[in-house]
Amino acid sequence: MRFPSINNYIEAVMNLHSRLLTLSDIRTVFDKEGYPLFYSSKGVVTFMVECSGKVAALKCFTSVKGYERTSCLAAAGIIHGSVVESELLVFDDHQSGDYYPIFLEFDNERVADEAAIYNEGLIPFESGGLWGYKEKETGEVVIEAMYDRVEEFEEGRAVVVRKGLSGLSKPDGKLVINTIFDEISWDGSAIAYCNKKGKWGCFDRSGREIVGCRYDWMGEFSDGLLLVRSGGKYGYVDLQGVEAITPAYENATSFDESGFARVRLAGKDLVINTKGEVQ
């Protein structure tokens, strides 16, 4: 399936009432200039919408990878919502006028965080050699300058560093992951990859541990599996933190959009599926 571009989706949500099959009570949220409130991440563009008077997030997919990744995270309970198949009518770059799946999130902490980002427009600021966050439009300080370094918010989370240790902050300043890690890489959506004393693990956006800090290296989740290295061997961990494929390979890649990965075992280059079966 070839998904539309961001601009195609923007055009669609500008007239959302005529572009949905069944979800007739959803309305687009617009900014002061009458433009849809949205942001984009890996293979996904997210619009703020209202449904029965409540704020929700409408995620539209710009790639197969974005669609599959969102589906995997939802199935594992890392993000909450549901994929609605063939719901949104979009005139894509080829003017096909097809319907495409969307993902809806209602009434949860994640949507509230995202709404806060839209409403506040938080940006980093420096004061006395320390960093915090303030509202972009008004300049009002939201998170006091207390950190050695901060990163910009992405989907309601930002990496902050204090006394050389990293944590993960919400827009209200509360830490979902305390500043106890040597390094944190936030994927801009759902997973924080954390390093402590040279070992890597990962946590979801609420701070729940998925994989403990026990691996020498790890990539990012792809097709529901995470490439890891332990004792010089590569393997794969699933979204429940279980080793789906035990580290045994001399080298390996993440799974591609077709659900295959290239590995090396006993000097031989092989292709495996997500069950570890050689193809």
Distance CA 117, CA 16 (A): 23
Task: Give percent of the chain above pLDDT 70.
Answer: 95
Q: What is the pTM of this model?
A: 0.81
pLDDT tens digits for range 168-194 = 999 889 999 999 999 999 987 789 999
Q: How far apart are CA 41 and CA 110, in angstroms?
A: 15
Residue 48 has what pLDDT?
87
What does the pLDDT read at residue 177?
Answer: 97
What would the mean pLDDT of 51-61 be, rounded to a whole number? 85
Rounded distance between C-alpha atoms, residue 87 and residue 267, angstroms: 48
**Segment 226-279, tens digit of pLDDT:** 999 999 999 999 999 999 999 999 999 999 888 899 999 999 999 999 999 999
State how far the alpha carbon of 63 is from the alpha carbons of 100, 125, 189, in Å: 11, 34, 16
What's the per-residue H, E or C state across the chain? CCCCCHHHHHHHHCCHHHCECCCCCEEECECCCCCECEEEECCEEEEEEEECCEEEEEEEECCHHHHHHHHHHHHCCCCCCEEEEEEEEECCCCCCCEEEEEEEEECCHHHHHHHHHHHHCEEEEEECCEEEEEECCCCCEEEEEEECEECCCECCEEEEEECCEEEEECCCCCEEEEEEECEEEECCCCEEEEEECCEEEEEECCCCEEEEEEECEEEEEECCEEEEEECCEEEEEECCCCEEEEEEECEECCCCCCCEEEEEECCEEEEEECCCCEC
| Mean pLDDT for all residues in the chain | 89
The Cα-based distances of 173 to 67, 153, 154, 158 in angstroms read: 31, 11, 14, 10
**The predicted structure's pLDDT at residue 265:** 96
The answer regarding whether domain 6-107 maps to CATH 3.30.200 reads: yes
- The reported pLDDT for the residue numbered 203 is 96
Q: Report the alpha-carbon distance of residue 272 to residue 278 in Å, rounded.
A: 4
Residue ranges covered by each domain of the chain: 6-107, 219-279
Which is higher by pLDDT, 223 or 217? 217
> Sorting pLDDT into bands at 50, 70 and 90, what band is 40?
confident
Which pLDDT tens digit goes with each residue over 15-28? 898 899 888 888 89
Q: Please give the pLDDT value at position 116.
A: 61
